Amino acid sequence: MTLARDSTDASDIVALRDDLAAWQESIGVTQWRVGEVAPFVVERQVAAGEWYVLRRGESLVATARLLTRDEHTWGPELGGEGSAGYLHGLMVARTAAGEDLGGQILDWFCRMSASHGLPAARLDCVATNARLRRYYREHGFTERGITDFGPTSGWAPVRRFERVLTAV
């Protein structure tokens, strides 16, 4: 995976997310909605060095956003700077389904977090997404509770996951 660099990467990330959201909706999975992330938001995140991409030729095959804080989901006590590595937006194009890229990215994320001296790797998904919850457990993550953002937030409750790391 390489660091995302420009607005082309940002627009490709948004397009992949919308494609995956449409696919999820078509199979009855609640996780993302088409159009819920604005391109300018991802452009700012790319400029901040938060997104990584995997390309085959010109095609975006996979991507993920890495952070070193997530107070929104984990709260200020648990989610402060340096408390863990946080993974958001893990996406693998449907054209690469079945290649275990998601599992490889989860392992890469854990290695990256450990190499920065972080004690844990954390992520989340919509609390009702049984398929993704099972996937994260199968990849060594333990459920660590639910964050409910409230009925007026526009956010669905999320199930939090963590993998404790050993230093590299």
Q: What is the mean pLDDT of the chain?
A: 93
Domain ranges across the chain = 2-123
Encoded tokens for 33: 């909605």
Q: How far apart are CA 77 and CA 87, in angstroms?
A: 18
Quote the tokens at residue 41.
């938001």
pLDDT of residue 66: 97
- Rounded to two decimals, what is the model's pTM? 0.92
Percent of the chain with pLDDT strictly greater than 70? 99
**Sign for the pseudo-dihedral over CA of 167, 102, 62, 143:** negative
Q: Is the pLDDT of residue 168 over 80?
A: no
CA–CA gap between residue 72 and residue 87 (Å, rounded): 13
Cα(61)–Cα(35) distance, integer angstroms: 20
The CATH superfamily holding the domain 2-123 is: Gcn5-related N-acetyltransferase (GNAT) (3.40.630.30)
pLDDT in tens, 123-161: 999 999 998 999 999 999 999 999 999 888 888 899 999
Cα–Cα dist 141/106, whole Å? 10
